[in-house]
Amino acid sequence: MYGLTEFLKSNSRSIPKQIATKCEGREHNWSQFEDRVSKLASALKKLGIQDGERAAILALNSDRYLEYYYAVWWAGGAVVPLNVRWSVGENAYSLNDSGAKVLFIDKAFASMIDPLQRDIEGLETIIFMDDDAPDGVIQYEELIASHQRCPDAERSGRDLAGLYYTGGTTGFPKGVMLSHEAIWYNCMAGSGLFDFGADDTYLHAAPMFHLADGGLSGTATANGLCHVFVPAFEPVAVMNALAEYQVTHAVLVPTMWDMIINHPDFDKNSFRTVQSAMYGASPMPEGLLRQILEQLPNVALVQGYGQTEMAPVITALAAGYHSKKGMEDGLLASAGRAVLGAEVRICDEDGNDLPNGEVGEIVARSPGSMLGYWGMPEATAATLNDGWVKTGDGAYRDDKGFIFIVDRMKDMIVTGGENVFSSEVENVISTHPDVAAVAVIGIPSKQWGEEVHAIIIPAEGKEPTLEEITAHLEDRVANYKRPRSMTLRDDPFPLSGAGKVLKRELRAPFWDGQDRQVS
């Protein structure tokens, strides 16, 4: 029970002839998909991948990425999906740290094969996921063709399913250990947020290494959806894929939404078959959200909030609240309510529950809670206690159970002794018509310690002034939260692999040579 291969076997049993994956002209039904997975698993077992041994992957989105996940689980191993934005050094770190014996890699990362092969001692086998494998590297399709099916290892429950590296923006990545049960639970919880039909199709638009996609990907498999793919996010490619494959469900992070909705070739008709789409992984500026709702009134939007340590979903704002009434009730600024089976506490620094309305740290527990950080007992003990995960996110809860996230604790700006949560200010600025995107950071101030600074990407042909922005904020946020200075910027914001704005990089030029003290 709670084994991730159960979903696959169920599909192969109940809907064997329905299409499982469509990618670059390849098409496999669930029976064929299981067959390929089982043969690839045979090969992996020979390569030592069983009993929780790790097989990593560094690749763009494709049907083979999905096969990789299930083949590793079928063999009894654990997946290690690597961040596609990482440098060779970061990849090498995670491969070494995880002790992966096998690495799947595709042609987009071919140039990394040599250095990785050279630097990583434990890495015994590299599997090349495209044609024309370089010397010394095994070709993916040949591996499948040369092996027979094997029985499912039937790993389940608290067995290790994968190491999901996180925290790359704040130092060394940590390998979050997720069990079969944790991801299984996420598939259940995610499923409760959507209405899936027998002929639905899921588009992998966000990178498959990340749980923003990985979470709903499992839900899609569990519900027997057809999986389709874009190799990497690009607004026009996504719109084309939505239309070509008659996609019904997708996940897009806020920056992706921004790039689509504000693209000169934005075509709402490409969303014609899309019933439901999830957003999450970073704060959604309310102005952008209203824009999406206006442009795509027939798409049921669902917000997911979570983190890798929770596999990942913790709360969700259901589609029903993305409505006129939801707006009036102020719920668009909320991350929604705890998903079923997740317990959410709002705690003070000593771990005591705070009453509704007070801001504290979100501490969550569910069957999705991580097993811990790989090889880091101290970091684990600091974060995980009896299944309860300290998220590091600051939030309050209203009396109907809606959670309002005010910011990452560590991103908080402290100005003149007052706490300012960036996302609150960003939300309001984003509703100004001349603003395309905004990031609010703290910059050094002799007088206040930090002062609030806004970096704004203006809307096409606009040039908002600090006075205009400040006037817009009047009556909306307290004076101390309003930016004291402002930068206009044309380039897009630097993003992490998960699509989060890299605030650290935005702050760097202001803080050059100075310590930023946040307490």
User: Applying CB under 8 A, which residues contact a second copy?
Assistant: 1-2, 6, 9-10, 13-18, 184, 187-189, 191-192, 195, 197-199, 222-224, 318-320, 337-338, 340-341, 343-345, 353, 356, 365-367, 369, 387, 397, 399-402
**Cis status, amide bond into 433, omega within 30 of 0:** no
Could you tell me if 18 and 224 are in contact, meaning their C-beta atoms sit under 8 angstroms apart?
yes
Minimum distance between the CB of residue 326 and a second copy, rounded to whole angstroms? 10
Q: Closer CB to a second copy, residue 56 or residue 364? A: 364
Q: Closer CB to a second copy, residue 204 or residue 337? A: 337
Minimum distance between the CB of residue 170 and a second copy, rounded to whole angstroms? 29
The residue among 210, 176, 174, 202 whose CA lies nearest residue 368 is 176
Minimum distance between the CB of residue 458 and a second copy, rounded to whole angstroms? 38
CA angle 50, 142, 205 (to 5 degrees): 75
313 vs 407: CA distance, rounded Å: 17
Classify burial at 167, counting beta carbons within 10 Å of its beta carbon; exposed 0-12, middle 13-18, buried 19 or more: middle
Q: Closer CB to a second copy, residue 193 or residue 443? A: 193
Q: Closer CB to a second copy, residue 2 or residue 140? A: 2
CB atoms < 10 A from the CB of 202, how many? 25
The residue among 476, 513, 492 whose CA lies nearest residue 439 is 492
The torsion angles phi and psi of 427, rounded to 5 degrees, stand at -55, -45
Structure tokens at 448: 């206040």
Minimum distance between the CB of residue 277 and a second copy, rounded to whole angstroms? 16
DSSP label at 308?
G
Q: Closer CB to a second copy, residue 220 or residue 437? A: 220
Minimum distance between the CB of residue 334 and a second copy, rounded to whole angstroms? 11
Could you tell me if 274 and 250 are in contact, meaning their C-beta atoms sit under 8 angstroms apart?
yes
The torsion angles phi and psi of 187, rounded to 5 degrees, stand at -60, -40
24 vs 204: CA distance, rounded Å: 13
Q: Closer CB to a second copy, residue 320 or residue 492? A: 320
Query: Which residue is associated with the tokens 């609010």?
Result: 440
Structure tokens at 443: 């910059």
Non-local (6+) Cβ contacts of 131 within 8 A are 139
Residue ranges in 346-419 assigned as alpha helix (H)? 377-383
The three-class DSSP label of residue 304 is: strand
Minimum distance between the CB of residue 367 and a second copy, rounded to whole angstroms? 5
Q: In the structure, how many helices (H) and strands (E) does the chain have?
A: 16, 27
CB atoms < 10 A from the CB of 107, how many? 15
Q: Closer CB to a second copy, residue 66 or residue 319? A: 319
Q: Closer CB to a second copy, residue 258 or residue 361? A: 361
Q: Closer CB to a second copy, residue 1 or residue 294? A: 1
Q: Closer CB to a second copy, residue 134 or residue 192? A: 192
Minimum distance between the CB of residue 10 and a second copy, rounded to whole angstroms? 5
Structure tokens at 198: 């027998």
Minimum distance between the CB of residue 44 and a second copy, rounded to whole angstroms? 24
Q: Closer CB to a second copy, residue 57 or residue 189? A: 189
Could you tell me if 226 and 200 are in contact, meaning their C-beta atoms sit under 8 angstroms apart?
yes
Minimum distance between the CB of residue 404 and a second copy, rounded to whole angstroms? 13
Minimum distance between the CB of residue 371 and a second copy, rounded to whole angstroms? 12
Q: Closer CB to a second copy, residue 270 or residue 334? A: 334
Could you tell me if 172 and 89 are in contact, meaning their C-beta atoms sit under 8 angstroms apart?
no
Minimum distance between the CB of residue 67 and a second copy, rounded to whole angstroms? 21
365 vs 341: CA distance, rounded Å: 9
Could you tell me if 432 and 469 are in contact, meaning their C-beta atoms sit under 8 angstroms apart?
yes
Minimum distance between the CB of residue 414 and a second copy, rounded to whole angstroms? 25
Residue type at position 157: G
Enumerate long-range contacts of 377-384, CB under 8 Å, 24 or more apart: 379/174, 383/309, 384/309
